Structure 1
């Protein structure tokens, strides 16, 4: 297929990166209705980033026409490219997620590019198979995970395929991209619970609103049946006079019953003090219930007769209550009775012997004007202990001490993470799903839905599949409920509510925990969980094409053949999601095994094939790295050989840790991943840093400020290119990198500059494009150059390009740059400064007169931007080094904003390019030296540069108009 004509895609040339990153960062704060709320998955790609990448991957870059002899000049290409940028800018906005006008513009652009490509290849022998102008290629994500990428492919009009080895990920994708299109536009079939119908849905059952409404109604039925069966385990609480004693806030409640929201418990162990070793004492990290102003409440342990009890108090919180019985970091506590230290080793020993128990500390109830806190009573504790589960998940928790901490304390199976009452509740909901499946089937048939006799896993779209689809979403509600109903859930006093377990990629050990009421109408309630989920089907999935999801190992799957591929694979030694997702799998298997028998055939999530370098699983760090490299190479090799030849492959890689050595960015996982990509036969055409997880935290204190994700743009490497010597590689870098870097930092007209914080990663693209297009780059001794060494050389070219000595900077700026490199903002000896100044062709007195240094008493120091005088005017200054101009612009930007900085730039427009490049250089220098705050200032200047330039142009136009008017 060497004669296939492949136009370059937009993503191989340029992207409006700042707009994509801003939208991705904003999306992180959106929760209600976001597809991520359908079910938890870790490190899910933002929809904005996924949508932009797939679009740019599919549309032709306007400049390609010049390459094949079409009459398009550079300026025309830039204008057309800017139109595509505008589509992306609209496409990534959250409010446009389902904006059909915006989406249709994107779909039209994709179709236009596709038909251009088909026309170019109309005479190819496989034109009918590969280049059908009436049918877009399908899409495939072989590491589908949370499903964001295949969902966005559907949104852009592509038939979407998603595969993953993990059954939980497979189910999430089915619930998002496969099941909804089968029941699009249907009215609800359940006549129950009409009061739950929203007013704006009365006559509008478009999209998946009818399906969502049915799920809510059947969910209400399940909740009601569950309450009939186990409601006695969740009784209302009568407020007694004893409870209200000394509590003015409870006077009006005495004799009445209140609905319990949650019970707060503390784990206990036998006291290590021999005098009290028959008594279980609490391990409580805090006794604070509420620290909201005016609502302060806390727990006080009262000691009596070698015993203790918990009582809730109101008012100012004592210092001791804030730390509970915690003595230090880790599992170190103090005996509440004797003050004897309780060490972490002792707690582990007690847990592993099965002697860790729990004691009720407080009860949270719904009051007339908000939540009230009540002292515990024996009756409430007895009710909880009366629960007797029939089924307990016995799946062991993996011994991965990086993320799974409970086994060290005796909680070794997933069943150990739940109270008896929680196990009974979750089991009850799971068992009711079989009944609700039959009920939904009968209602659908009665409502006139056809029955094709096919089950959901067989591709059914009729009554049988509909009943099972209802069970799937209710099974998701149960799975999500388990995240809120377990003994790792904690209480947050500042919010007066429980916080679910998975606040990070770990199952930590907690000491005081919350047991929510699953029928209370708040966090941890089955119906609340379900209703929050259904906002996704109601509003945010939108109009999507068909989708197909199946369980496949990426290294052996055959789904990718002739499909567009974008994927987000596992990240080297990141947390193993297979281990974490066992928590959800045990409940999904309990409730949905009848719907997807093959998917839930195993007792736990498959782990042997998971492509993560997990040392505990493979015996050593080296063995884990070898496993990852070999497995990822096989998986990417599979993609390289089967993807559609008309499109590049986009692969996400997420950075988790980094180090700086010799001025270059180094990351073992990153280098190992690049090695796998290149070994698999792919050439890397581009690397786009995407800030999809870090929000506004642009620079980490003392660390390299890596983007949260880098998207690699890859093509299958051409056969027979041959090898390249190290010297030739360096020569090609010097020849090609400057042009690529100039384009990235905004040298081309209209191009938005890449922020300095992202430049090092973006510049890897053109550098690795040279390295990866050859079979190998050979060192002087004939050995193959490693990716690590190639990255060092690429970073060296970036540094040299940005170095002022390589440009035409004035002598004062050259002095300041070298002085800053050596001393930063600190003082240095006058003699050293004098020697350096003479070497650069200036003098200390000259740079002092220029207003950039302070010199006196034998010392010299650079002036920081905030030290520079306000009201400075370059028009009246007869000596304006670029250094001075740059830092005055920073001062204006920081103190008065973009408009003021632009007004100042308008007074010296000829300095603009030099200011911008100096800021890049100084950012790189600061980042290398780990001067985080200083680096931030230069990064912010470049990030705002486009707006500053626009403001300067506007000022210039106003000045011209004033001249004309005069």
Structure 2
């Protein structure tokens, strides 16, 4: 079969996509945290998993043939997500106790002695046993023992034979295949572009798998990170070796200077590892100085260390003693401190603020003019500042000879003595000597903090007006030394960029906004979330601890395709691309343009020495942000420009975080006005759980696949509704038909998402919809609560999907008799039974049924722990009244509860008999009872075990009931 033998009508991703497996691989990659390929280059918010990008690019390049099952098999082979591919990726042995869970009693007897593998098994026997168990595992379980797809060379030779046979290609590597498929579609190696390149995921992964790439971003920090991904990580082993050499040279030089200055070693020869500071304020009630300590626990991992306050009556202040503690003392100290969520607790027992916390706003003088603003030359608190800064603890490293003769580290936590304070003064003096020169030469920041949603925080809460105010003198001195060497010692762009990345990693992990983590005895980074959070207590790193962020391990690959990266506005770029894959700041809560100035301030003055054609301004005014009319118009300009710089057979994928019908409706209008037509959409789970993400948050990333709009057809809005209904049903039917019942590819939310996509396909296939003036709709402000005219079409599409997807075990006729709240509850239980606990899934379900309030049906609404109440978890007050409370489903649930409570089925039967129309509704009641009875057999529904048994008993009684 020749390379041109398969006609290209639609791409694979326009007809199907392995949503489940790509989601699981994306989650595995994100859970790798700092082990991810690009995160080593430094902080950027919302980087997309590389496996998601790889799957998207290949999905656009692979054709959809008349054998969809084989298409899917080949696609999974390419991504090494099939059985053989995951076996190739297996990196570690499955433990004996885990293996036994997948073996029969006979097999356990054959291979094990007690709980251990038999000693006489050959290596081949052990390998065969590992493979047997591995193949019996579900996909999630397998992934625990697998490398990521990017960590192996790709499909096996055998797999390539099958891939080439199906596609008519001659490839033996993914880049070779990409080039062949690109030639087939576009006449040359395919070009992938991304004008919102951010942390570089799309350009990097597209280049790594063999595409030419163009990447741009309005923000120069994003462009720099993307350039680094392609030219440092993608530069090959020789480049990485040179980078490591330069890193070591700079570090050694700084280490030598700091040692000579004697500012990091004490009289015992110990070296400072971390310096802990706190703010200190004058209590407005009693006039005492109060150190602001959110907790008195300092260390809990290697040793228990706490702080204790002792009154210094003569100076109306407090000594801070540092000592080792018992576990009980440590636990008590953890819950103690002078700062609580309600305000400052004055340690002076005679002060009114000792019992009633004083609000921080009172201390900051929020209602009396606020804080005094710092000047550029201020590098420590001024005498009249509200917030003074106090060094209260130092973590020391002592080098000792261990029992084996090898050098070991002994750790000490100590309060600073007079000599330590003198060293602090020397640090300040050394910085002052260099301060003006370093600012003039751009070695340390001199950039002002411009007001903004996030940047107002340090100005308002501390009076800091310049970016260097966010660093202690020690941090500015150390980082300034690193910066000076970067700009004076090296000239090659890739060396300077790699060192600037090390510097900015150090800035992220070593600022006044870094928290001290007493559970690990180490500092955390500044951007542990998407804000500039000022702190009352914070660490400053010693040089040996800075080394953890200065040195970074890079994954090495050799990118050999053409790459172009620039900071440029997507509205005016002139580069053409076959495929555009973008992750725009759509209705985004992340203020990239503001937060990135934290990093930009450290190299803005020297940027042009590395990239003469680049600007060094965050372009905050031009940033696309928000969700109003200006935002919509800007987005249309960007995507219209991308569409104009794409061939007729080109395609786009827009990634965005799915929120609600209004977001979809606005996005539909934007893409429609830009001359694009939606062909498909898929939702991939990309978010990991985090204790920092309190409440409900969206976990999915939608991939919206688009082509150029070429139709001249015109329609009226009322004509579109029946078309949407037909399209939704057609879409759901095709997905149900292709889905693997044993290894489901689509989750419940994917079917709802398909309804959105179906609606958008219908809407965007028309050149014009007569009822809608699209330019006017995009450009006019909307009143609060006012709907986009397309929103009704999209909401109706989801309602059709929800009505179409009847839960297994419920008759479609019974389903049609139920009110929306009842349908939501039953469908929600089906979500639970599939192991779905994401809040977004239930939010989406509620929207589909047109329900705004459903808290009374939930037992938990915590993120990733969302579930509905069981029959017994409903209260008496939840029955009767209107809506769900008086519905048939609610009465059946109450009957189950009564039966279980009284341990008598007659109690439930009596309740049901009093329901209006009991005898006419008996068939529906029986069906519901059997549905609830079946829930207990599902391993995800342990909370239903007892209620399910009760439902089963009650169903027998109802079935036998007679007049």
Same fold, TM-score > 0.5, yes or no: yes
Match of 2:845 in 1: none
For the residue of structure 2 that corresponds to 1:643, the secondary structure is coil
For the residue of structure 1 that corresponds to 2:154, the secondary structure is helix
- Does the 8 A contact of 1:385 with 1:421 survive in 2? no
Match of 1:87 in 2: 78
Measured after TM superposition, the shift of residue 802 of structure 1 is 2.5
1:344 and 2:336 equivalent?
no
1:166 and 2:175 equivalent?
no
Pick one of 371, 374, 383 that aligns with 2:411.
371
For the residue of structure 1 that corresponds to 2:196, the secondary structure is coil
Counterparts of 1:625 and 1:832, CA distance in 2: 36
Match of 2:292 in 1: 283
Q: In the superposition, relative to structure 1, how do residues 818 and 164 fare at CA in structure 2: closer, same or farther (>3 Å)?
A: closer
Measured after TM superposition, the shift of residue 6 of structure 1 is 5.0
Query: When the two structures are aligned, how many residues end up with a matched partner?
Result: 747
For the residue of structure 2 that corresponds to 1:894, the secondary structure is coil
TM-score w.r.t. the length of structure 2 is 0.69
Pick one of 518, 529, 551 that aligns with 2:549.
529
Match of 2:486 in 1: 433
Match of 1:359 in 2: 390
- Does the 8 A contact of 2:454 with 2:595 survive in 1? no
Q: In the superposition, relative to structure 1, how do residues 789 and 895 fare at CA in structure 2: closer, same or farther (>3 Å)?
A: closer
Pick one of 327, 330, 348 that aligns with 1:317.
330
- Does the 8 A contact of 1:414 with 1:583 survive in 2? yes
Measured after TM superposition, the shift of residue 48 of structure 1 is 1.3
Match of 1:884 in 2: 930
Q: In the superposition, relative to structure 1, how do residues 812 and 381 fare at CA in structure 2: closer, same or farther (>3 Å)?
A: same
Counterparts of 2:500 and 2:580, CA distance in 1: 30
Name the stretch that deviates more: 634-643 or 291-300. 291-300
Pick one of 376, 384, 407 that aligns with 2:424.
384
CA deviation profile, 1:611-660 (whole Å, cap 9, x unmatched): 112xxxxxxxxxx61221111110011112222333421010124xx5xx
CA deviation profile, 1:857-907 (whole Å, cap 9, x unmatched): 743499xxxxxxxxxxxxxxxx9948736752553323799xx9xxxxxxx
Q: In the superposition, relative to structure 1, how do residues 731 and 136 fare at CA in structure 2: closer, same or farther (>3 Å)?
A: same
Could you tell me which runs of 5 or more consecutive residues in structure 1 were left unpaired when the two chains were aligned. Answer: 64-75, 117-126, 184-207, 240-255, 439-466, 614-623, 659-664, 863-878, 901-966
Counterparts of 1:781 and 1:236, CA distance in 2: 68
Q: In the superposition, relative to structure 1, how do residues 755 and 234 fare at CA in structure 2: closer, same or farther (>3 Å)?
A: farther
Could you tell me which runs of 5 or more consecutive residues in structure 2 were left unpaired when the two chains were aligned. Answer: 1-5, 87-145, 171-179, 375-381, 401-408, 778-787, 826-856, 858-868, 915-924, 946-963
Pick one of 550, 564, 588 that aligns with 2:579.
564
Counterparts of 2:883 and 2:22, CA distance in 1: 46
- Does the 8 A contact of 1:27 with 1:94 survive in 2? no
Pick one of 800, 816, 821 that aligns with 2:803.
800
Pick one of 194, 197, 210 that aligns with 2:238.
210
- Does the 8 A contact of 2:731 with 2:754 survive in 1? no
Counterparts of 2:324 and 2:580, CA distance in 1: 59
Pick one of 140, 153, 170 that aligns with 2:206.
153
Counterparts of 1:300 and 1:61, CA distance in 2: 71
Aligned-CA RMSD value = 4.5
Match of 2:42 in 1: 39
Match of 2:834 in 1: none
Match of 2:612 in 1: 597
- Does the 8 A contact of 1:58 with 1:647 survive in 2? no
Match of 2:525 in 1: 500
Counterparts of 1:53 and 1:146, CA distance in 2: 17
- Does the 8 A contact of 1:498 with 1:514 survive in 2? yes
* Residue pairs, 1:501-650, within 5 angstroms: 501-518=526-543, 520=544, 522=545, 524-525=546-547, 528-531=548-551, 533-537=552-556, 541=557, 545-559=561-575, 561-590=576-605, 592-599=607-614, 601-602=615-616, 604-613=617-626, 625-650=628-653
CA deviation profile, 1:561-596 (whole Å, cap 9, x unmatched): 242111111122422211111111111335554212
For the residue of structure 2 that corresponds to 1:308, the secondary structure is strand
For the residue of structure 1 that corresponds to 2:757, the secondary structure is helix
Match of 2:851 in 1: none
Measured after TM superposition, the shift of residue 311 of structure 1 is 1.1
Measured after TM superposition, the shift of residue 319 of structure 1 is 3.8
CA deviation profile, 1:15-54 (whole Å, cap 9, x unmatched): 1101011111111121236221112111000111111111
- Does the 8 A contact of 1:265 with 1:362 survive in 2? yes
For the residue of structure 2 that corresponds to 1:594, the secondary structure is helix
Measured after TM superposition, the shift of residue 817 of structure 1 is 9.8
Match of 2:339 in 1: 326
Match of 1:756 in 2: 748
Q: In the superposition, relative to structure 1, how do residues 430 and 597 fare at CA in structure 2: closer, same or farther (>3 Å)?
A: farther
CA deviation profile, 1:912-948 (whole Å, cap 9, x unmatched): xxxxxxxxxxxxxxxxxxxxxxxxxxxxxxxxxxxxx
Match of 1:394 in 2: 446
Counterparts of 1:471 and 1:235, CA distance in 2: 28
For the residue of structure 1 that corresponds to 2:716, the secondary structure is strand
* Residue pairs, 1:771-810, within 5 angstroms: 771-778=763-770, 786-803=789-806, 808-809=811-812
Measured after TM superposition, the shift of residue 301 of structure 1 is 4.3
Pick one of 737, 741, 748 that aligns with 2:732.
741
Q: In the superposition, relative to structure 1, how do residues 834 and 597 fare at CA in structure 2: closer, same or farther (>3 Å)?
A: closer
Q: In the superposition, relative to structure 1, how do residues 801 and 214 fare at CA in structure 2: closer, same or farther (>3 Å)?
A: same
Match of 2:956 in 1: none
For the residue of structure 2 that corresponds to 1:226, the secondary structure is helix
1:300 and 2:309 equivalent?
yes
Measured after TM superposition, the shift of residue 436 of structure 1 is 2.9
Q: In the superposition, relative to structure 1, how do residues 762 and 474 fare at CA in structure 2: closer, same or farther (>3 Å)?
A: same
- Does the 8 A contact of 2:232 with 2:239 survive in 1? no
Match of 2:684 in 1: 690
Pick one of 740, 760, 763 that aligns with 1:768.
760
Measured after TM superposition, the shift of residue 174 of structure 1 is 1.0
Q: In the superposition, relative to structure 1, how do residues 815 and 180 fare at CA in structure 2: closer, same or farther (>3 Å)?
A: closer
Q: In the superposition, relative to structure 1, how do residues 108 and 820 fare at CA in structure 2: closer, same or farther (>3 Å)?
A: closer
Counterparts of 1:831 and 1:588, CA distance in 2: 64
1:142 and 2:133 equivalent?
no
Counterparts of 1:633 and 1:831, CA distance in 2: 45
Counterparts of 1:128 and 1:37, CA distance in 2: 32
For the residue of structure 2 that corresponds to 1:509, the secondary structure is coil
Name the stretch that deviates more: 588-597 or 747-756. 747-756
Match of 1:21 in 2: 23
Counterparts of 2:886 and 2:43, CA distance in 1: 62
Match of 1:452 in 2: none
1:720 and 2:712 equivalent?
yes
Match of 1:893 in 2: 939
- Does the 8 A contact of 2:683 with 2:701 survive in 1? yes
* Residue pairs, 1:182-221, within 5 angstroms: 208-221=236-249
CA deviation profile, 1:700-757 (whole Å, cap 9, x unmatched): 96x6x7443111111111241112331x212112222112113334565678342113
Measured after TM superposition, the shift of residue 481 of structure 1 is 0.8
- Does the 8 A contact of 1:853 with 1:860 survive in 2? no
Measured after TM superposition, the shift of residue 342 of structure 1 is 6.0
Match of 1:913 in 2: none
1:484 and 2:533 equivalent?
no
